[in-house]
Amino acid sequence: MADAKRGIVVTIVATRGSTYRRAGARAVISEDGESFGTISGGCLERDLAERARAWLDDFNPRVITYDSTRGDDIVFGLGLGCRGETDLLIEPFDRAHPPRLVTQFRWNGREPVTWTSGPLVEVIRPPRAIAIFGSGRDVEPVARLAESVGWSSSVIGPHQSFDAAAFDAAVIMTHNYMQDLALIEALLPSAIPYVGLLGPKSRADELLAAAGLARGRLRNPIGLDLGAETPEEIALAIVAEIQAALNERSAKPLREVGLPIHARPSSAPSLHSGAPSPAEAGEGLYAPSPAEAGGGGPERSEGPGEGQKA
């Protein structure tokens, strides 16, 4: 909006069947076709960019549906790989009509925020925050990879104060026995959800014995078994384990899970979405819109081929 461009905020408000993203995923598409954020593999964004100008005439929000359940979807030209339906809330904007996310959404510290987008009611959580304790060459790849997936990373040096309550995960990789000991004593009794320690089990056992603490929830050796050797590979193993742990997932290959890709384990929270920026995504609880409750429904999107559905 700073450069006076017009565009649309697109929010997935409901899905049925197999879809690339779930309810709560967002994208911003400008009138000249630029897209920020992800609601599909790119096919929906391209089609929406073609339609955006028509919706900028009245600035009225509307719900449309893309349907890729048809067997002849490839003829349509989008070639959607998933076989499902996606309901999208379209909210046009310009400088005089800014999006509600800009004018009304406010964070409440680290607390989740309930937000309504048309028929979707979602709980949006702040971006995950990770504390990395250390100063070696292996620290920077962890911080860089964490930020690349949308997390906030803080590298904390020796004797630097910190608030454990401000973080979702702590990675201890100081390579210093006394520093590791002090951090274990501070972090394991805290409420921080994930605490990981770099190094072998035998060293961790010595640290835990000196601290008088049980191994319990300490993640050590830290990371998933990916055959990691280089700092970058180790960072991948660490960030992947944190992602799985915070989402209460097994980190098994998806082919062995036996559930739909987006299915949530029964013990997991009902909602866990990211920041409400166009680049962030989440999951929400779907409630019927008045039109749907009354027997109507969202408009069906037609693609480049007349009468065909996305």
Specify the pLDDT at position 274.
36
Domains belonging to the chain, first-starting first, are 7-125+276-300 (no CATH), 129-254 (3.40.50.720)
- How many Cα atoms sit within 13 Å of 87 on the Cβ side? 21
Tell me the pLDDT tens digit for each residue of 108-117: 888 899 999 9
Residue with tokens 């499902």: 84
Over 70: is that where the pLDDT of 282 sits? no
- Tokens standing for 33? 């076709």
pLDDT range class, residue 214, cuts 50, 70, 90: very high
Task: Output 18 or 298, whichever has higher pLDDT.
Answer: 18
Over 70: is that where the pLDDT of 296 sits? no
Specify the pLDDT at position 309.
35
**pTM summary value:** 0.71
Tell me the pLDDT tens digit for each residue of 116-134: 998 999 999 899 999 999 9
Averaged pLDDT, 50-61: 87
Contact 185, 162 (CB under 8 A): no
pLDDT above 90 coverage of the chain, percent:
52
Contact 52, 8 (CB under 8 A): yes
Burial class (CB in 10 A: 0-12, 13-18, 19+), 5: middle
Specify the pLDDT at position 262.
64
Burial 257-285 (b: 16+ CB within 10 A, else e): eeeeeeebeeeeeebbbbbbebebbbbbe
pLDDT range class, residue 179, cuts 50, 70, 90: very high
Helix segments in 196-285, DSSP class H: 201-211, 231-246
- Tokens standing for 82? 């998933």
Average pLDDT value for the chain: 81
pLDDT range class, residue 252, cuts 50, 70, 90: confident
Specify the pLDDT at position 218.
97
Specify the pLDDT at position 229.
94
Over 70: is that where the pLDDT of 50 sits? yes
pLDDT range class, residue 277, cuts 50, 70, 90: very low
- Alpha-carbon distance values, 278 to 9, 57, 90, 175, 282 (Å): 8, 22, 13, 39, 11
- Tokens standing for 57? 């005439």
Tell me the pLDDT tens digit for each residue of 134-156: 999 999 999 999 999 999 999 99
Tell me the pLDDT tens digit for each residue of 264-274: 655 443 333 33
pLDDT range class, residue 304, cuts 50, 70, 90: very low
